[in-house]
Amino acid sequence: MSDGTARDAIALAQALIRCDSVTPRDAGALDVLQGALAPLGFACHRLPFSEAGTADVDNLYARFGDGGRHFCFAGHTDVVPVGDHAAWRHDPFAGDVADGILHGRGAADMKGAIAAFTTAAAAFLDDRGAGFDGSISLLITGDEEGPAVNGTRKMLDWLEARGERIDHCLVGEPTNPAELGEMVKIGRRGSLTGRLTVNGTQGHIAYPHLADNPVPRLVAVLQRLNERQLDAGNAHFQPSNLEVTTVDVGNPATNVIPATARATFNIRFNTEQTADGLSAWLREVCDEAGGDHVLDIEVGGEPFLTAPGPFTELIADAVAAVTGRQPELSTTGGTSDARFIQRHCPVAEFGLAGRTMHKVDEQVPVADVAALTAIYRQILERYFA
C-alpha cells in the first residue's frame, strides 16, 4: 500500500473524528463519508428513520456497481459520550495525530475502520477501473451505540424491499484485544434482559402479619436463577451466563416493609439456548417463587455463528498476509449490529484493537490504520479474484 493511500485513510479518519457524532447526533459525519464516496462512483442513499419513543437517526447506504457478487462493509459513525472532557490529553473531537498515534473519540470504535475500508475500496476500484463487474457497498448507521432501533435493522429491511441482496458482509468493529491481527469475530452470543418487579403490601415491621414483604420472594427468585448452570458452552462459544445487574427496593426507612422490590438481570447466551426457551424458564421460576410479580423480557439479539469456511478463511488469510499473525476465529465479547446482518447474509467482523474503545484518551496507532486499510484491500482482491 502506498504512503499516499495510508495518508488518505488517516485524513478521512481525522475528518470523521472531528464530527461530534455522539448517538443519536450525526454532526456531519455522514456528509464527510458521502463526500468521499460519491466522487468514486458510489450511489449514495441517506436513510433517516424514526420510531415513537426513540430519537430520529440518519444512516447512509452507498453502493458501487449493480451486478455480480456483492460485498458489503458495515459499521457505525455514532460514538459514545466522552465522559470527563478535561481528563483527555487531546481534545476528543480534534482528531490529533501525535507521535504516530491517532487520538479521539471513535478512533478505535470505529471511525478508523470506516476510513480504512473506504480508502481500501477507493484504491481497489482505482486499480480495477471500468472492468470491475462486482458490487461493493457500505452500510453505515448512526444508531449502533444507542438503542439500535432506527439503524442497521431498518436499513436491511429497506434493502430487502428494494430487492437488493448482499452476498457477504464484513463489519469493522474493533475485534482485536491488544494487537492488530489477533482475532476475527465469526459469531456473537445472544442477549436477553429481564426486569422483575415483585409486589407486596407495605406495612410496619412490628406487624408483619398486616403486610406482605416482597423482598424474600425476590431473593428466592434470584437464588434459583443463579443456581442453574445454563450450559457448558460448545466448540465455538463460551458458556451462557446470567448476571444480576441491580436490585432495588428504594426504602429509606428501617421500620417499614416495602411494597415492591425490583431486580434487573442480563443473560448472554450461546447457540445451546434460544430466547424463547430462556424466557419460558424465567417465567416458570418467577411463577413458582415470585408470587405477585411482573416480568418484562427484552431480547437484544439471538446468538449466531458464521461457520468456518471459505469466507472466514479468506478474511483470516488476508489478515495473516499483512500482519504475519494467524487470527483466532472467535465469538467472544458483547453484541454488535452483526446480529441483524446475519439474518441476511454470512457476516464476520474485523477491525482495530479495542484496548481504548469507550475510554478516556481513545486512540490507535497510525500504523494500524494503514495496516487495516491494506487488509481490507487484500480482502477485496481475494473476494473478487
Confidence of residue 335 (pLDDT cuts 50, 70, 90): confident
Residue bearing cell 432501533: 149
C-beta separation of 76 from 140 below 8 A: yes
At residue 271, the pLDDT reads 96
DSSP codes of every residue in 45-86: EE--B--TTS--B--EEEEE-SSS-EEEEEEE--B---S-GG
- Domain 190-301, what fold? Alpha-Beta Plaits (3.30.70)
Taking all residues of the chain, what is their mean pLDDT, rounded to a whole number? 96
Distance CA 154, CA 157 (A): 5
Statement: residue 2 has pLDDT above 90:
no
Residue bearing cell 456483492: 70
At residue 5, the pLDDT reads 76
3-state secondary structure of 160: helix
Up-side HSE of residue 190: CA atoms within 13 Å toward CB?
A: 20
Distance CA 141, CA 25 (A): 11
Up-side HSE of residue 165: CA atoms within 13 Å toward CB?
A: 7
The overall pTM is greater than 0.85: yes
At residue 131, the pLDDT reads 81
Q: What is the dihedral of CA 148, 169, 353, 81, to 10 degrees?
A: -20
Nearest to 209 by CA among 253, 251, 257: 257
C-beta separation of 192 from 267 below 8 A: yes
Q: pLDDT tens digits, residue range 159-184?
A: 999 999 999 999 999 999 999 999 99
- Domain 3-188+303-383, what fold? Aminopeptidase (3.40.630)
Distance CA 46, CA 34 (A): 9
At residue 1, the pLDDT reads 57
Distance CA 177, CA 354 (A): 6
Q: Which residues of 136-159 are buried (b: 16+ CB within 10 A; e: fewer)?
A: bbbbbbbbbbbbbbbbbbbbbeeb
Confidence of residue 129 (pLDDT cuts 50, 70, 90): confident
Active site residues: 78, 144
Q: pLDDT tens digits, residue range 217-259?
A: 999 999 999 999 999 999 999 999 999 999 999 999 999 999 9
Statement: residue 360 has pLDDT above 80:
yes
Per DSSP, what are the bridge partners of residue 364? 102
C-alpha cell at 364: 490507535
Nearest to 79 by CA among 119, 113, 53: 113
Q: Where are the domains of the chain?
A: 3-188+303-383, 190-301
Kind and range of the H or E run holding 11: helix 3-17
